[in-house]
Amino acid sequence: MSDKIKSSYKTSKNIYDDIITHNTWWSRLYNKVFWNDVNDNDIARSLLMHIPSAFSGKLLDVPVGTAVFTCQKYQSLPKADITCLDYSEDMLAQARTRFKANDIQNIKTIQGDVGDLPFEDNAFDIVLSMNGFHVFPDKKRAFQETRRVLKSGGKFLACFYIRDRSKISDTLVKYILAPKGWFTPPFETSASLKTYLNKHYEIESYEVRGSIVLFSAIKR
């Protein structure tokens, strides 16, 4: 499965940004037809607003992807200690290029697995995960690891696909995106995710837009 995920993101690296930012007519059509016209740019902005403008702590971004949504935010956080991790070297290469082009020097980029994070317990003040949990093959382990490395009182910020909100989105995921390796079952529902979050976090905000959930939660 890990090789399948690497291969899927290698083949899509040249169109990934267009798909998630809706920069082209075909990506806007794809989003309108299959994702109920939910705007990923708006979701990213809403989620990143939960990072304080003067943040100077330690932040883990997993998976960083190409940093298409986060680069501008990280430019505004010169005092933060930011670590960006991704399983795909192709995604990381694009993120590194973007950070270098914008002269962002307070970021470390690491190739790694969310299921086995190379960090000590309670290492980060914020863990950010954008469009990751619907890809991670071992979601239980991913939830455990992201919580393990987050400090008590720290923020867990995330957005990702959840099932049972849209038949057409679920069909696309089941028959195209999952077989291709871009998404990996099983998938959370809103109810199952809330059950997990309420057990381990205080939910600061929680919103579902189409088949995408976005939330901010504080680790107990």
Query: How does pLDDT run across 38-75, given as a tens digit for each residue?
Result: 999 999 999 999 999 999 999 999 999 999 999 999 99
Spatial separation of the C-alpha atoms in residues 102 and 71, rounded to whole Å: 8
User: What is the pTM (predicted TM-score) of this model?
Assistant: 0.93
Phi then psi for 160, rounded to 5 degrees? Answer: -170, 170
Which residue stretches of the chain have pLDDT < 50?
1
Please give the distance of CA 69 from its chain centroid, rounded to a whole number.
Answer: 10
Asked if residue 151 lies in contact with residue 219, where contact means CB atoms within 8 angstroms, the answer is yes
Element (H, E) at 153: strand 150-161
SS3 85: strand
Asked if residue 31 lies in contact with residue 38, where contact means CB atoms within 8 angstroms, the answer is yes
> What single-letter amino acid sits at 13?
K
List the Cα angle 136/193/109 in 5-degree steps: 35
CATH number at residue 78: 3.40.50.150
Taking each helix axis as running N to C, give the angle between helix 2-12 and helix 89-101, from 0 to 180 degrees, rounded to the nearest 10: 40
> What single-letter amino acid sits at 196?
Y
Element (H, E) at 217: strand 212-219
SS3 182: coil
CA torsion through residues 158, 102, 81, 115, sign: positive
Model confidence over 103-129: pLDDT tens digits? 999 999 999 999 999 999 999 999 999
Asked if residue 67 lies in contact with residue 44, where contact means CB atoms within 8 angstroms, the answer is no
Domain span at 16: 2-219
Tell me how many domains the chain contains: 1
